[in-house]
Amino acid sequence: MTSRYNLDQLFTAYAAKDRLALSRLITMIENYSAEYELLIERLHGFLHNTPRIGITGPPGVGKSTLVNEIAQELRKEEKTVGVIAIDPSSPFTGGALLGDRIRMNRISLDPGVYIRSLATRGSLGGLALATDDVADLMDGFGCDLILIETVGVGQVELDIVKTADTTMVVFSPESGDSIQAMKAGLMEIGDIFILNKSDREGADRAYIEIETTLMHKPDGNWKPPVIKTSVLTREGLTELNQAISKHQEFLFTEDRIKVKQQARRQCKIKQMIETSILNEYWNEERQSQLAELSLQDISVVQAAKILMSLN
């Protein structure tokens, strides 16, 4: 009863835009607390379906710097921003150099920006689910836009960013090999492509490489722009923000954003059911049967069949 009472209090504070309440609710999601279901149920009434922008790309291309720039631009328009960093190398998560962290602090002290990092540990499905829930919490809190930063190499990380409404893929001139390498995965999912650190050597070549790779992408209703950006020379930053606005407009025509949101919801309901079924299945008895069967000299298929026939 105590915890239920706490959840009520937390939601009252959350509704009153108390950042600490938001922070505590996020922690409850992260820890998959006992009140998880109650929390999600309560949260539903708060949702506005705020657009989500995923930012991905190889380590070191300056994803966090761009997140910072986009957030600052949105702040000029008095919009509030939620940032979720799932990149272990992100300055937001404390993974990167001190200089970066200090730079990021500028926006992290802004009361109109809410930043939260999520660790890439624990179960796979778990992380994607938590990211989505945290985005919902920021949505319900009143954020006008949610930026999700993930390092774009792993499968889970790509899956997370794929659920965003707008996906930005970032490269740098140094990621020549990576452009080749990640062609398959990243080129398919990008709505906006960025060549960051465009002041550096090799930028033109890398730009052409991205454009060439995209030529093979089948034509759709949206043609992904490729934008050169540099935080040093300020090249392309205005263009980047315009591209984001343009994609948002695109999303809101023909209810495209609704389709994306429903796909997210469906995926979430499915995962919840599966987690519940499997948790119930793996009771102590079955767990010890599993341990025992794995020691026997039988094939894994046979072991699985035996375990399933036992109960």
Q: Measured from the CB atom, is 221 or 279 closer to its own copies?
A: 279
CA–CA separation, 237 vs 229, rounded Å? Answer: 6
Q: Measured from the CB atom, is 35 or 144 closer to its own copies?
A: 35
Report which of 231, 81, 233 is spatially closest to residue 145, judged by C-alpha positions.
81
**154 touches its own copies by CB under 8 A:** yes
CA–CA separation, 179 vs 156, rounded Å? Answer: 19
Site size toward its own copies, by CB under 8 A: 63
Among 269, 283, 285, 288, binds its own copies (CB under 8 A): 269
What is the separation, in whole angstroms, between the first and last Cα of the chain?
Answer: 35
Q: Measured from the CB atom, is 46 or 79 closer to its own copies?
A: 46
Tell me which residue has tokens 């519940």.
276
- The interface mask with its own copies, positions 94-113, x = CB under 8 A, is -xxx----------------
Give pairs for 16-24: CB < 8 Å, separation 24+. Answer: 17/141, 17/142, 19/111, 19/114, 22/114, 22/137, 22/138, 22/141, 23/116
CB of 61 to its own copies, least distance (A): 10
DSSP 79: -
Q: Measured from the CB atom, is 16 or 295 closer to its own copies?
A: 295
Question: Applying CB under 8 A, which residues contact its own copies?
Answer: 37, 40-41, 43-44, 58-60, 87-89, 95-97, 119-120, 124-125, 127, 151, 153-159, 177-178, 180-185, 262, 265-266, 268-270, 272-274, 276-278, 281-282, 290-291, 293-295, 298-304, 307-308
